[in-house]
Structures are given as structure tokens and as C-alpha cells.
Amino acid sequence: MNLSDRVALRVWIRKRVSRVVYVPDISAPNPELEFNGMRWVGIRLENSVLLATPVQSKAGALEKKVRFIARHTAPCKFITPDSKEFEKHGSGIAV
């Protein structure tokens, strides 16, 4: 999975199409998405809600409910080391 990729995932019972905005080891480290050995991939929905899904293994596997759709090159708002997404905008959704 790469930054900007389009993915589909189920949040509760609805299928959502979204963009990958943070990938551990590719993006600059962000303390909200990487700490105590745990790592999450940041996924932003079309309505700007940020989701975080855990990386399941050292190989970088994600949960089965996250499906790759296509590579995407259009710009989007990535997570930076200084981003405080969950702190500024309240709790996010972990899927």
C-alpha cells in the first residue's frame, strides 16, 4: 500500500471509498499513528474523516476489510509529523 492509493473498506455496514494518507515506514513518523511498537495506516474518507487501521504484522498486512482499488496520483492532505489529527478534531475511528 502506498500514499494516495484509493482503497475501499467497510465502516460499520457501509462500504466507503477513501485515500491512504499515512503509511508507517513510508511517511515521516507521527506519534499519533506510531507508538509503543504499534503502527496504524491513516485513511481519509471523502468527507475528510480520518480512519486508522492497525498494521497486523511486521510484513505490513492490513485487515481483510481494507481493499486496494487503484493507484492515485492526485494531491491529497497527507499526515505529517506535526499533524495532530486526533487531538485537534476529536476522536477518530479505528477500523
Domain extents in the chain:
6-94
- As a whole number of Å, the CA-based R_g of the chain is 12
What is the pLDDT, as a whole number, of residue 48?
Answer: 79
20-68 pLDDT, tens digit each? 898 888 888 888 888 888 888 888 888 778 888 888 777 777 777 888 8
Please indicate, yes or no, whether the overall pTM of this predicted structure exceeds 0.75: yes
Task: Report residue 1's pLDDT band, with 50, 70 and 90 as the boundaries.
Answer: confident
